[in-house]
Every structure is written in structure tokens, then in C-alpha cells.
Structure 1
Amino acid sequence: MFGIVAAAVTCLCHVQASFGSPTIKAPTVQLDRATFTGVNSGNVSQFLGIPYAQPPVGNLRFQQPLAHPPYHGYYNVTAFGPSCIQQSAAISIPYNVSPIALEVIGGVFGNTTNPPVNDDEDCLTLNVIKPTGVPAHTKLPVAVVRGFETGQSSDPSTDGGAIVQRSLDIGHPIIYVSLNYRTLGFLPGKEVKEARVGNLGLRDQREALRWLQKYIAAFGGDPKKVTIWGQSAGAISVSLQMLTNGGHNEGLFRAGFMQSGSPAPVGPTTASQPVYDAFVANAGCSHSRDTLQCLREVPVAKIRAAMNASPSIFSFDSLDLAWGPRVDGDFLKDDPQKLVSQGSVSTVPFVSGDCDDEGTLFSLSNANLTTDSEVQAYLSEFYVKNMANATEVEELLKLYPSDPTQGSPFDTGLQDAITPQYKRLAAIQGDIVFQAPRRFFLQHRSSKQPTWSYLSKRGKANPALGAYHGTDIPEIYGGADLGDYFIRFVSTLNPNGKTGIPWPKYTHSSPQLLTLLDGSTPLLITNDTYRAAGFNYLTQLSLEDPL
């Protein structure tokens, strides 16, 4: 569920007829001294499972990624590569959820666990999907799918071919690139910091962006017109790629598009030492003098089991992630929100948006909390755990009361209150990780670079979940209006065009949102001023006590 990063390389040619018809011959591309053979599907050519870095196996496990050596020979790239090793996303659904809500939740989670069908350590591959017949000199755009906790570039719900086809239909052809990166690459701990191997998943992404600079022109893409795009953890990844290196992006991208994710309030990697220690113990390395080296040498089955033994995003810990980015003093030198305040941000145009009910999915597994005191204790343990007293939590609970008419799913009255505290927790968790950081980011950057923002309220009829986290993904892949805005932004750095209503820039004095609605008025411009007191207080708490 956490996941998409997309890089987009924009088209200079807007004539579909130039490269719209499929050819019988399989498409090929030359990279270094190698020939890569892909597959055609209608108006789209696909090159799948291309290795972009050396396999992180053996002694390269838990090491920074190394560039792939020059290619030689022949590569048949007609199938997705394996996904990276990741946790099984199990969730305990509370007994008191209505049968209709259970049906909706079952549609989201399947049988409540969705481990990848095919995973492997040798997983650092990417996929290039482009209009058929694009000459190498054409100079077009790109997109990428992954997450901190779950996800894979071959996910059928994120069909890059559909985006490429839609880009042809509206006269803004782009190239779509999806990539795998190590979710296992977010191991925290002082040992990780000292070895400078923190945030390896983000470093994998950076290596893939360098690969694009070197090779995307061979596919007809323009390396100077790359837009990084992501959903959830992918969106947070986009924001952190904008913040690292003092904001200098090395020319790797020219824009960012973030769906449900902004610079999240995360603390030092050493503060999560218990996660590392437990992982080491579960992998059988506790008695080693060099625990990191031991982790590189144990069988991969032990690594997978140790990861599954740690809390997942759908465990009771919820959005206090065991596997996520941390301040390592190297890739991330400070709390991302402090980096934003310091101006350590790449000055590229960006879009950042949210779904209205970001927290509902992540509040099901702690729906057994039913009293004020239980919620207060929970927040103190997971979200404001370093505070000296309970005053801050008490103030937070005043701003987010247990009144279900004020909770999430928002604007649903007394409905969806599956427990006395569920909607309250959903509001707090959605705002502290998603909504408040988005507004903070936009308010600090909208005067320094072109910015746009949206709010998706579509899907309010989903029982218990409302417009939940991820419901805007089909808006991009399904050829809906947000998808057209996205394609035009990738192509021209301006989301506006022939379809949809005018989408104004977001400014500090006029913080306007493109709001996506169900019903006869699908699009509306609204103001980003809701829950201001709650957002401001959550931001204050986050700066004092990051996750």
C-alpha cells in the first residue's frame, strides 16, 4: 500500500501518429555493448527487469548500491524482475466492523496478507515503458513504483502502459519507468549509522536516477526532463530526494509529484536501536562481534523471517514505522521538517496532494482502543514518546475530540464509528503523518518555487474507510482527470490544459486546492485552511519529538 516513485522524462513531440502503430518486430535498444530486446503491446513497447545496479547479495547486502558495470551481450527483458524482500502485510481486522466494511477492507487487503509472489535479494531492476517506435533522438518523460513496507514494480494495479497510452491520447507522450528498491534498506541503529549504510532504499533510488541520466536517451527520453513521482512512501521518497545533499539534486530531476506523502517528521536512526537489536536477535546474530557482517552472511530465509517478526505498518504500532527513513547524518542530515525550515530543498516545481481520510487504513489494527485514557497512553507510547509530561497529549486530544462527527472518515456524521475512538485515532494518525506535513511543506516552499496541491474526497461511501489512503492511485492510472493533470505536469511543468478545470498554484496567501469529489461536480477549487489549529499543534509536536 505504501508506494510509488515515478520519474518522468518529457516529450517534445505531441503528434501521436509519429509513433503510434505497433510493429511486428520485437523492440530493441543498445546500451553500451549490449542489445536489450523487449516486447510490444499495442502502441506501447516494454523493456522489463533491466538491472540498474549490482545485485545487493553476499557481502553487498546492507551496503550502499554500486553502479552496474557496462553492459555486454544480449538481454531478453520481457518479464518483470523479482520484487525486493519485504514484510508480509498482515492486519487484524476488529470483530465489530460491519459486514459491508469487511467487504471493502477485504478488497484492499485480500486475505489480509499479501506477500510478494516473487521476491529475491537480487531485485534492483527497473522497467522502461514507452510509445512504440520512438527514435532515440525524440527526447520524451518517465515513472517508478515501490514502497518502504510493501509493493513491487510489477503490481498490476499500476500499469505504466495505461499511462503511456493516455499520454498519447492527449498529445503529451511520455516514457514511464518503474523501479524496485530495497525496503530492507531502512534498517536503523547506531551500527548502521557508523557504517554509513542507512537509508539504503533512498540510495537505491538515487542510483536508479543516475542510471536514467546515462541511459534514458537510448529509449528516446530526455535526461534533462525527469520528474520524480510517488505515492505514499514513494511520495515521501520524492520529498527526501528533494531534501538530501543540501537540496542540490545533481541534475537528476526537474520536478516532483507527490501523492499522500511529504517530508515526514522522522528522528535519528539511533533512536530506533531496539528495532535493530530485535532484528539482529531474530536473525541469530546477537552474539557476533560484528552484527552487520553477520547479517550479510546468514541465509536469506533468516533475513526474511527477522523482517516479518518486526512490526509492520498494519500492526498495533501503525505509522510509527520500524522500516522507514531515519536521520543518519549522511543521506539525511537532520529531521526532514527541519531541513525544510533550513531551506535544504531542491527548487523544482512540485505537486503534493492527499486523500481526505489518510488515517483510516492505519487505525484498524489499533481499534481495540476504546477510551480516552487508552488513546492518551497509545499516543504517548508511539507518537509523542519523548515528552516530559502528558500535557501535550491532553492538548492534542482537545483539538481532536472523540466526537465521531469530527473524526475520519470526515464529513460522515455519526457513521463509521466502529469503536468510540476509531474516528478520532484515524484523524490524528492521518494528519500527523500526511496532512500536516504536506501543508507545512507547501507553506514553506510555495513562495520559492511553483507548487500545486490537491485533496481527493472521492470514495466517501466506502464503509469505515471513506476516501482512504491510496484511493487516488486509480485517478492516475485509470485515465481520470488527475491523470491528465499529472501527464501535463510531467510534460510541461504545468498541470493545466484542455481537460479539467483551471488548477491555480498554491501560494501562502492563497492556499488553494484542486478538490476531487464524487457526484455531479467532480472538481472544485477549495481553500487549504481546514483543521488549522490541529495541524499547527501536530507540527509543533513533530518538530519537538519526531517519529
Structure 2
Amino acid sequence: MVFLQLFVAALLSNAVQHSIAQPTHTPSPVVDLGYAKYQGFFHEASRVTNFLGVRYAQEPTGNLRWRAPTTPKKVVGIQPATSQPPRCFQGNTGQGVTAPSPINHRRAETLAISEDCLFLNVYTPGDIDSVKKPLPVVVWIHGGGYALGGATGFFGADTYDGNDLIREAGRGVVAVVIQYRLGLLGFLSSGQVNQNGDLNAGLLDQQFALQWIQTHIHKFGGDRNHVTIWGQSAGAGSVIQHMIANGGRTNPPLFKGGISSSSFIPSQYRFDDPIPEATFNKVVSQLNCTSSPDQLNCLRSLDADTLQLANSAVSAGAFFGTFNFAPVVDGRFIQQRPTVALQQKKINGDFFLAMTNTNEGALFVDANTADTVHVPTYIHNLFPALTQSQVSAAAAQYAPLGTPITQVNAIMSEAILICPSHYVLQAFNGKPAFKGHFAVPPAGHGNDLSYYFPSTNGPLSFNNTAFATAFSGVFLDFARFFNPNVKSGPTITPHWDSWTVSQRVEMLFNRTEAGAPDVREISSSQDQLRRCQFWESVSANTAQ
């Protein structure tokens, strides 16, 4: 569990527990969703109407496990929407063979977790009844390797507070924060799941939430025809999944703009490939369902706490810093590997903004192996289907970068967290697309979160007002106008050229040694682009 604790500490440095102020005046707003009426509250400090814990899908329990989400059952009376929802069951990051995790291992939780977790939060500037013109909508999809997180972040130590997004947008958006099934319950894959269930349940939850937005967001003052989806890490990976969903032809369209902050595209196997099947068999074995004539129904018959034990144990058994449960190619919702779909320009959405951090990978590499790590062995563990010649070629790409630990940090950074953004940018060539680079030291994975949600994610790594305004502002300006060059207010960010294959430019967000903001346009690193081209060339074997 040491790695998991370090993961959270690094991702959410000095995070503080956040609680929403309760309503201070009546009457509170009520919205009728057809299946239920929800009563939110007006947050006096931010002057934003909050609806917290709104159910968007029926509880996915019992026979509904590993099935697509469905419309909630009708309930009578007014439901309170004044407190954060329980998070979905939490998994683990891979800890390899150095940290075995017995099946009876449980992790202490500071906030409620539940299998009944398909809720979302909606935030509207001012009083929803006073919104005269529908506002652009920004949808936040949380990260956590498809195993961790929720509307209340990691361990409940932070909240993805839509009040922050509305403030940074100059009160020009409606914000939505969604939850989705994680780990074993969201991404269990095998031929059996395909035959008697639905693959990629966690992604289907996200799509169902986006469909809910199309149906209901006007009741909160939002414009369903102006939706931007934005995520960080696995949330950014989710944005890319929705871009390639349904063969790039989701109909009706669910969004126009996409923002990826540290896009996360790990190996994405076909649902019945050996590795997903092996993971399914581990789950079945740990839960004593191997001899059952219907192993999936055996799993459905178990209580949620028992499933959670296997969720934690099996996910912890993955190679260090990786995740056992992740999206797969299911042939329907996700019809091709992301790299293939993007090469063929099969994409939903018309506008794209990508932000990557300089040192994305170090968080997912065991620093204790600095003196012993063998680069080819690491590459093989990360991508076991690579041939020996491909492993050697990959190692040769990174040999000039320094020590072995520096090399494997860069491999994790680029292969899984940086290069996928470039593949999307290439697919958008000819459409408005923008590339940013967050470089404020240490510029690690997750160091940008405190700029998006400053009220609940601790101090900024560079506490400079002009920089913070410029950096956080570009995302919300993009959400409002689909163009970071149209500003909500004064900013030091200069004109930002669109990224194209002939003009590969990105906006640098950094600080000088003297402590001043350094925000300027730069050319994309040619060496990094060359390495990304290598990973793209072997993507059939990395399963990306």
C-alpha cells in the first residue's frame, strides 16, 4: 500500500477536506427529471446553485452488474441534492511481485463507497430560474486509472468542485461532474461478459451520463448543443474513448469539444484476448466460482463486499504502476484500438485541446528500483506482447536519455500518457486543435489539478496569480468558445496557434528561475515526436 499512499500524496499534495456550505435561504431550487424531483441549494459564498448526488442511472447491482446502465426507477417526493454521493468501489494500482496483496486486504476509506454510485453533480451560476440564455456545459470526468476516484476524488480528501470551474469561466458555464463504475465492477472483460452482459460498463456509464445531459441539462440552464468533455489521466483517456466511440459516429452527438489533461491510453486488448481472460479467471478463482456452470452469474450472486475484496486484490497484482482493469475493444462501443481509429480519423467532436505534463511517468515507476532496473525487462513487463526485436528497438530509442531509471520514467511518460495526445492531434488535422505543455517543476502527473480545483486541492506548485489565471483560464475559455484565443478576461497567455502536422506548436506554461511566469508558444519536441512515431508503429503489439 506504500505506492498507493505515495500516489495520492503526490497527486493531491496537501489536499484538504472540503465540505459544501448548506443553503442559507429558502425556497431552494427544485428540478423535475421525470423519474424524480431533486432539490438543490444556493451556495452563498460562490453564488452558484448546487445539485449534488443526482442519480442518473439505476443502481447497477445484482443482475445489473456488468450490464449497460438503465434509466432510474421513479421515486415519489422531492429528493435532497445537498451532499456528495458515495464513490464507486475503489480498486488499486498495480504493485507487482514486491507487494503481494492477500484477498482479505481492505483499505481504510474516509468517505462512503458503494456499488450504488451512478450519480452526478450539477453547478449553475446564480439562480437557475434567472438564466436567460442557455450556457455552455463543461463535463468533468475524473481520473484514477479506471480504478480509483470519484466526485470526491481520492480517499475523499478532495472534491472536484464545480464552483471553481464556474469562477474560472467568468460564470459563463454550467459544470457537471460525473461518476462511473470502476475496477472489477466497471471493466471486467471476457467472452462470458460479452455473452451475458455488457463490456466496458464504466465507459457506458459515462456515455449514459452524457445522454442524460442531452435530455436534462436545459433544466439547469445549460446548452446541450454546446458541451465540452474534460478529464485528467484516465478521465482524459475517457475523453479519447468517447471520441472514437461508435466508430466515431455517435448519433446524436453528445459533445462538440474535448479536453484531455494527461491523456491515459494503456494497453487496450480485445475483450477475449489472453490477458483480459486471464484477469477474469483470477477473479473467478479468488471468489470460488471456477466450478460454477455459469461463472458470471456466480459472481453476480455474491455480496458487494466480497466482490470488493477481489477487486482490491486482483488489481494490486498488476505490474507496478499499471492497472488490471481497463477499457477493451468490444467490437460495438469501442470498435477498434484507439491508435487505429485515430489513424483513420474516426472521431466524434469538432474541437480539441490537449495538455501534457513534462514528467508524467515518474509517479508510476517504482523509484526503489533506480539502481537495479533493466530497461528491456521493464519494457517487456509494460508491454508483454512486444517481440524481442521491438523491445530492443524501444530500448534504443531511450538509451540517449540518461540513467536507466530516467529512461523508464520517459517510457511510461511518453508511451502511455503523452504520445496518445499527439495521435488525437494528428486525427484532428484540419480541425481546430490546440496543444499545451505544463512544465512548472516538478511537472509531475496530477500537479495541474490544483489549478483546476484550487479550493479543494491544496497549494499551487507556482502560486502566481497571473500564471494561475492564465493556465486555468485556457480550459474554460475553450469550453465557452471552443477557442483559447477568445478570452473571458485579462490574461498573459499570448495568441495560441492551432496544432497541425505542418505546424506542430504548443503553448508552454512554466516559470523562470527568477520566479516569473513563462507562458509562450514553442515548437513540439522533434525527438519526442520521433519516439511517439515509434510507439505508434508498434501499437498492434502494445495493444494501444
Partner SS state of residue 124, structure 2: strand
Q: Report the counterpart of residue 445 of structure 1 in structure 2.
A: 428
TM-align CA RMSD: 2.7
TM-fit CA distance, 1:265? 5.0
Q: Following the alignment from structure 2 to structure 1, what is the Cα–Cα distance between the partners of residues 255 and 76?
A: 28
TM-fit CA distance, 1:263? 5.5
Q: Following the alignment from structure 2 to structure 1, what is the Cα–Cα distance between the partners of residues 268 and 203?
A: 14
Q: Following the alignment from structure 1 to structure 2, what is the Cα–Cα distance between the partners of residues 29 and 325?
A: 34
Q: Kindly indicate whether residue 202 of structure 2 is the aligned counterpart of residue 201 of structure 1.
A: yes
Q: Kindly indicate whether residue 450 of structure 2 is the aligned counterpart of residue 474 of structure 1.
A: yes
Residues 260, 421 of structure 2: 8 Å contact kept: no
TM-fit CA distance, 1:195? 3.1
Partner SS state of residue 227, structure 1: strand
Q: Report the counterpart of residue 236 of structure 2 in structure 1.
A: 235
TM-fit CA distance, 1:283? 1.9
Distance 1:345 1:534, change over 3 A: same
TM-fit CA distance, 1:72? 4.0
TM-score when normalising by structure 2: 0.83
Q: Report the counterpart of residue 494 of structure 1 in structure 2.
A: 483
Choose the corresponding residue for 2:509, options 505, 516, 540. 516
Residues 312, 318 of structure 1: 8 Å contact kept: no
Residues 123, 174 of structure 2: 8 Å contact kept: yes
Q: Structure 1: which 5+ residue stretches go unaligned?
A: 3-20, 95-111, 408-419, 461-466
Q: Kindly indicate whether residue 534 of structure 2 is the aligned counterpart of residue 537 of structure 1.
A: yes
Q: Following the alignment from structure 1 to structure 2, what is the Cα–Cα distance between the partners of residues 360 and 51?
A: 37
Percent of paired sites with the same residue: 27
Q: Report the counterpart of residue 432 of structure 1 in structure 2.
A: 415
TM-fit CA distance, 1:267? 2.1
Choose the corresponding residue for 2:441, options 438, 459, 481. 459
The letter of the residue matching 1:438 is: S
TM-fit CA distance, 1:338? 0.5
Q: Structure 2: which 5+ residue stretches go unaligned?
A: 1-6, 9-22, 99-105, 455-467
Choose the corresponding residue for 1:276, options 277, 280, 296. 280
The letter of the residue matching 1:119 is: I
Q: Report the counterpart of residue 398 of structure 1 in structure 2.
A: 396
Report the more deviating stretch, 119-128 or 153-162. 153-162
Residues 359, 427 of structure 1: 8 Å contact kept: yes
Distance 1:536 1:88, change over 3 A: closer
Choose the corresponding residue for 1:73, options 59, 71, 77. 77
Residues 29, 128 of structure 2: 8 Å contact kept: no
Cα deviation digits, residues 293-319 of structure 1 (max 9, x gap): 111110111110001111349x63423
Q: Report the counterpart of residue 458 of structure 2 in structure 1.
A: none
The letter of the residue matching 1:380 is: H
Q: How many residues align?
A: 482
TM-fit CA distance, 1:535? 1.7
TM-fit CA distance, 1:257? 0.8
Residues 53, 81 of structure 2: 8 Å contact kept: yes
Distance 1:251 1:535, change over 3 A: closer
The letter of the residue matching 1:433 is: I
Q: Following the alignment from structure 2 to structure 1, what is the Cα–Cα distance between the partners of residues 198 and 36?
A: 31
TM-fit CA distance, 1:489? 1.0
Q: Report the counterpart of residue 176 of structure 1 in structure 2.
A: 175
Q: Report the counterpart of residue 252 of structure 1 in structure 2.
A: 254
Q: Following the alignment from structure 1 to structure 2, what is the Cα–Cα distance between the partners of residues 364 and 83?
A: 28
Distance 1:213 1:445, change over 3 A: same
TM-fit CA distance, 1:113? 6.7
TM-fit CA distance, 1:65? 0.8
Distance 1:422 1:116, change over 3 A: farther
User: 1:33-182 alignment to 2 at 5 Å?
Assistant: 34-42=36-44, 43-69=47-73, 72-89=76-93, 115=109, 117-135=111-129, 138-140=133-135, 141-147=137-143, 148-155=146-153, 156-167=158-169, 170=170, 172-182=171-181
Cα deviation digits, residues 379-437 of structure 1 (max 9, x gap): 22331x2234x222122112112x6xx35xxxxxxxxxxxx532211100111101122
Q: Following the alignment from structure 1 to structure 2, what is the Cα–Cα distance between the partners of residues 340 and 265?
A: 15
Cα deviation digits, residues 97-137 of structure 1 (max 9, x gap): xxxxxxxxxxxxxxx97756211011001111111213265
TM-score when normalising by structure 1: 0.82
The letter of the residue matching 1:502 is: H
Distance 1:332 1:35, change over 3 A: closer
